[in-house]
Amino acid sequence: MKRTHKIALILCTIVCVVLLAGFMPSSKKISPGQGINIRVVSASFFQKILSERMDGPGARIYCETKDGKSGTIQLLQSLFYGPVVFFTGEETNVIYCLYNNDVDVRVLKIDLSKPFNRKELYNCNTYIVEASPWGIEEPTAKDWQTALNFLRTVKPDQFERQHIPAGTWSHSATNLLWQLKMQHIE
């Protein structure tokens, strides 16, 4: 086999592997606390960039509580939108999701003890939340403080375990704090 044929074969193999990987959705298991287990299945890279609609394929969040309740939350996910990190606060049956909303960060407060009511969603969360069995409420000042405290105190390895890689850049607790400061939240 000629050298040019070998190089062409290697390049074709690399291109095929990259294309195949781009069509595979990613999955990550998270334990944010309070006996809650979450598995996030993110849209594949190509689903994110080829989606013609704003409400693309979405991220599916499979959640199970310590008392055995389970359900699936579906959130908008694209290159510029998507869940970043899940964590719990002091309230029982509540999980928080920091959500990258292109130019800002939102706090989604998910109350596992209340049913979903689309009418209770506020401002742009009507397009972020595609489906949920549980209530998603507007965060209060206390909820924002819970998010800020989490970001200030989380250890890097714990953040990495609870972080969902998504979008066009990687998040860290430090750059999320900076982004919230730019939004005048801090």
Residue 168 confidence (pLDDT): 47
pLDDT value at 96 more than 70: yes
Q: For residue 105, what is the enclosing H or E element? A: strand 104-115
Sign of the C-alpha dihedral computed for residues 42, 45, 46 and 50 taken in this order: positive
The SS3 assignment for 170 reads coil
Token pair 């390049």 is at which residue? 11
Q: Kindly state the average pLDDT of the residues 103-120.
A: 84
The Cα 136–Cα 117 span in angstroms is 8
Residue 25 confidence (pLDDT): 58
Q: Kindly state the average pLDDT of the residues 105-133.
A: 81
Where does the pLDDT of residue 95 fall: very low under 50, low under 70, confident under 90, or very high at 90 and above? very high
Q: Kindly state the average pLDDT of the residues 112-123.
A: 78
Q: Kindly state the average pLDDT of the residues 106-121.
A: 84
N-term to C-term CA, the chain: 64
Which of residues 138 and 180 earns the better pLDDT score?
A: 138
Residue 59 confidence (pLDDT): 83
pLDDT value at 141 more than 80: yes
pLDDT tens figures, 37-88: 888 887 766 666 665 455 556 788 899 988 888 999 988 887 777 888 899 9
Token pair 């193999």 is at which residue? 13
Residue 52 confidence (pLDDT): 47
pLDDT value at 159 more than 80: yes
The CB density around residue 120, as the number of other CB atoms within 10 Å, is 13
- Supply 93's token pair: 């049956």
Which of residues 138 and 22 earns the better pLDDT score?
A: 138
